[in-house]
Amino acid sequence: MSTHSPSRRWIIKAGISTPVVMTAGCLSQGGSDSSATANRTMASGLEPTQFRTPRQIAPLFLTDTEFKTLEAVVDSIVPADDNPGARDAQCARGIQLLLSAFSFSPAMIFAGGPFSNRGGHTSNDFEKFIELDPYEELAWRIKIEGSKGMPARSFNGSVAGWQTIYRNGLAALNASAAQVPGGGRFEQLPAPMQQLILRDSRDSAVTDMLNIATPQVLELMYGAPEYGGNAALVGWKFTDYEGDVQPRGYTRQQVVEPDNPGVLDMLGLSRRRSADQPTTQAGRSTGVSAQTAPPPQSALLPVPTLEETLRGQNAFRQLIAMTSDEFGLAMMIDSQSNQQRIRQFVQSKLPNKSGGQ
């Protein structure tokens, strides 16, 4: 695994404290690039413990060579440090499934429901992808495959689909890598050289690809694993997110007394217990079952002292600043903002480093 600066992960931890919801998305392990293209199937790379896809009816889009280049790209977007990165989460596989959505029946666009098998349900409904209606299929084929000169897809003009954008971008990266002294393919270069090419490229094929790859990698890193990413739930574990817990849900104790501090706790204004309320050594109520005990009857917002007020005001300002950063980044990702804007935002939020450090 390549060695990367851990600072690249700082903004992920700080800016995406909850996973980005996958609105739609959908492995390239298979034969060689040309003559064996038709043999690229899920079966050759699917482990028994992984999710099951719908029935495959056509080859996957990216060739093995393209897929290896894509793995290097996603590894540069969310590199591993002390925690798994996008390569570990198999985000490249998720992009392959997205580009190959119509190679499956039903198309891998919208996962089913209502439950996976992670919250006590006996089967994984998320694996049962939903059939698209004709309008949805047309819209998604235009987005993924492009207009391809078809009148039915060209009512808004010519559209370059994600398949074309990725294929052109990956080819451009390999062309740039070939010009590096002693270079070969992009994925064969050292990680710092890969990042330099991605950062400084003025090739529109590369920048166009990164503009869609960056938000898609983040969606796959922290989205439901049925879309192909978040392998072994590494994204959820990194952000301490429990994932989908239905139909098991939460106990009353988990709701009333959550493990993580709430906003009031962060502001130093959490509810106080009555002096005569019995507690355990851990400070929790005793004598009544946690499943049936009513919430404490003490005041929710007791009148704070002057010291508490000043401390609360300072904490509240910090909370607003933190929330604004998270909200801003989430909005840029959700709106498919371009990679340059997201990079500038991330760089502006990284801790300042003095010279020589």
- pLDDT: which is higher, 95 or 10: 95
By DSSP bridging, strand 55-56 and strand 104-105 are: antiparallel
What is the sign of the dihedral through the CA atoms of 24, 27, 31 and 34?
positive
Does 273 score more than 60 pLDDT? no
pLDDT category at 201 given cuts 50, 70, 90 is very high
pLDDT of residue 314: 74
Of 272 and 349, the one with more pLDDT: 349
% of the chain at pLDDT higher than 90: 51
Average pLDDT, the chain: 76
Which is more confidently placed, 266 or 181? 181
Q: Quick one: CA torsion of 10, 16, 21, 23, rounded to 10 degrees? A: -60
Beta bridge partners of 285: 279
Whether the per-residue pLDDT at 343 is higher than 80: the answer is no
Q: How far apart are CA 351 and CA 345, in angstroms?
A: 13
- In this predicted structure, the answer to whether residue 132 has a pLDDT above a threshold of 60 is yes
- Max mean pLDDT among 25-29, 178-182, 191-195 falls in 191-195
Helix (H, G, I), strand (E, B) or coil at 257: coil
Residues 284-308: what's their mean pLDDT? 51
Beta bridge partners of 45: none
Residue 155 β-bridge partners: 157
Regarding predicted confidence, which is higher, 270 or 67?
67
pLDDT at 268: 56
Q: How confident is the model at residue 307 (pLDDT cuts 50, 70, 90)?
A: confident
* Three-state DSSP class for residue 7: helix
Above 70 in pLDDT, residue 265? no
Question: Between these two residues, 93 and 320, which has the higher pLDDT value?
Answer: 93
In the predicted structure, residue 136 carries a pLDDT above the cut 90: yes
Say what angle helices 306-334 and 339-349 make with each other, to 10 degrees.
Answer: 160
Closest to 53 (Cα-Cα) out of 111, 13, 7: 111
Closest CA to 99 of 66, 50, 77: 66
Task: Determine how many CB atoms are found less than 10 A away from the CB of residue 152.
Answer: 9
Distance CA 222, CA 240 (A): 11
Token representation of residue 182: 């002693």
Assess whether pLDDT exceeds 60 at residue 137.
yes
Average pLDDT of 305-329? 68
Least confident of 31-45, 180-194, 234-248, 299-313: 31-45
pLDDT at 113 over 60: yes
Token digits for 337?
Answer: 């903002």
What pLDDT is stored for residue 8 in this prediction? 42
pLDDT at residue 130, as a whole number = 96
Question: How many Å apart are CA 201 and CA 158, to the nearest integer?
Answer: 25
Residue 247 · residue 119 · CB < 8 Å: yes
The identity of residue 291, as a single letter, is Q
For the ranges 14-23, 49-58, 288-297, 330-339, the lowest mean pLDDT is seen at 14-23
Q: Closest Cα to residue 124, out of 34, 201, 192, 225? A: 225
Banded pLDDT at 330 (limits 50, 70, 90)? low
Report whether 284 contacts 324 (CB < 8 A): no
More confident residue, 270 or 63: 63
Do 70 and 216 touch, CB atoms closer than 8 A?
no
What pLDDT digit, counting tens, does each position of 203-241 carry? Answer: 999 999 999 999 999 999 999 999 999 999 999 999 888
